Amino acid sequence: MQCNVTRSNNASLATILSYNKFYIPFGSFATATNILCVLVVLSKKRMREKYGAFGVLSFGDMLNALAMVLLGSLRNQQINDNSFVSLSSFACFGRPWPYLFIVGGQLPAFVLVVMAGERVIAVFKPIFYRTYVTPKTRVIANIICVALSIASLLIGILFSYLNREVCTSPTCTTINSTGRLYGTFNNCLIVPLPFFALILNIIAYVGAKRLSVSTNMERELKKVLVSLVLAALAVVLSVVPNILLWGAGVYWNVPNLGYMYIGFCCNSAVDLFAFFFMKEDFRNRLLSILSYGYLNRRFNLHEETETNVKQNMVRNTSIKPPARSRSTEAVG
């Protein structure tokens, strides 16, 4: 469909350009940090098995941050070329960032729930966790998260095609490019799921804190804390801006709402810092990659840490003297 050429006024274009000045550097920084996270996870088999879900989370956040970079740079180009005009929803979906925003928003939301669910099982059903939550199970869960986000993207493409006769703003947000119905569906995934993950993590943290008095839960408590921090930051930096952006212009008017997208970039960048400060083996592996092993040799940083399970096995293994036969006792 060919829409009537409707150009934005100079004030609107100036506002968009001011937004883009933040989108590009913040998005580039967040993209770089998540690439580092993915490289660390992929660097060794042990890291892939232990932090596979975190790797998928970082990949999703990388897509979200990359969408911000493309959004800012391509909008600048369109404004400079005088091609920043209204177009159909389906043509809007031809821009690269709606794809990345959908997958990059939903995939981390799915993964946060999976990570929180694993921690709940580990705290309250430890025997079931050790028996059934294997590396293969984690891979299957990660694949399901990716498949769900791709399936949702295909649904978004369908809705965009159904709205091909609708002319929309050249900003090409997810709602602009797919229609309000799918935009609402998208928000129904990326808004409640981090909240749900946060609640699960709080339950797991309280349970681990209570059980740590009588059982060896200190190690699990640290894992829950990392997952809790990631979910809490996702709620603050991603969920709240998404709610405001979803209702903008329909239910409320908030000035300078475009700056809310910077919150997405900040949320996408926290993965590296959360794991760097809270996971010793991840931190040491990252330093090894960045310094080609120099810092690890210089400061004696070990990439692998002995698990408490193995330590407990060593502590609980008693050294029994060899059994004495009756004939030996008789001689004694």
Q: What is the per-residue pLDDT across 269-311, written as a single tens digit (0 to 9) for each?
A: 999 999 999 999 999 999 999 998 888 888 888 776 544 444 4
Query: Could you tell me the two tokens for 54?
Result: 């975190």
- Using the structure block, give the residue that is written with the tokens 């894992």: 223
Cα–Cα dist 261/253, whole Å:
16
**How many structural domains compose the chain?**
1
Is position 34 within any domain? yes
Report the pLDDT averaged over residues 214-228. 82
Contacts of residue 65, defined as CB under 8 A and 6 or more positions apart, other chains included, come to: 26, 27, 28, 29, 30, 31, 34, 104, 264, 265, 268, 269
Under a CB-based contact definition with an 8 Å cutoff, are residues 72 and 194 in contact?
no
Per-residue confidence (pLDDT) for residue 249, from 0 to 100: 66
Is position 115 within any domain? yes
At 14-38, the pLDDT tens digits run 888 999 999 999 999 999 999 999 9
Per-residue confidence (pLDDT) for residue 304, from 0 to 100: 66
Whole-number Cα distances in Å, 256 to 195, 245, 330: 25, 11, 94
Query: Could you tell me the two tokens for 67?
Result: 């969408």
Is position 61 within any domain? yes
This prediction has a pTM of 0.86
At 126-171, the pLDDT tens digits run 999 999 999 999 999 999 999 999 999 999 999 999 999 898 888 8
The alpha-helical segments, DSSP class H, found in 133-191 are 135-162, 174-178, 180-190
Q: Which domain holds residue 327?
A: 10-331
- Using the structure block, give the residue that is written with the tokens 């949320």: 267
Per-residue confidence (pLDDT) for residue 66, from 0 to 100: 95
Cα–Cα dist 30/58, whole Å:
10
Is position 28 within any domain? yes
Per-residue confidence (pLDDT) for residue 315, from 0 to 100: 39
- Using the structure block, give the residue that is written with the tokens 């940090």: 33
Report the pLDDT averaged over residues 199-218. 84
Per-residue confidence (pLDDT) for residue 245, from 0 to 100: 77
Cα–Cα dist 206/200, whole Å:
10
Per-residue confidence (pLDDT) for residue 214, from 0 to 100: 59
Report the pLDDT averaged over residues 99-121. 96
At 45-99, the pLDDT tens digits run 999 999 999 999 999 999 999 999 999 999 999 999 988 888 999 999 989 999 9
Round the average pLDDT of the chain to a whole number and report it. 86
* Closest of 7, 107, 18, 10 to residue 56, by C-alpha: 107
Residues in the chain: 332
Is position 1 within any domain? no
Is position 5 within any domain? no
Is position 3 within any domain? no
At 225-271, the pLDDT tens digits run 999 999 999 998 888 888 887 777 677 777 777 787 788 788 889 99
CATH of the domain at 218: 1.20.1070.10
Helix, strand, coil percentages for the chain (3-state, nearest 5): 80, 0, 20
Provide the b/e sequence for 120-145 (b: ≥16 CB within 10 Å). bebbeeeeebeeebeeeebeebbeeb
Cα–Cα dist 238/264, whole Å:
5
- Using the structure block, give the residue that is written with the tokens 């990059």: 104
* Closest of 208, 212, 189 to residue 200, by C-alpha: 208
Is position 4 within any domain? no
Whether the predicted pLDDT of 113 surpasses 70: yes
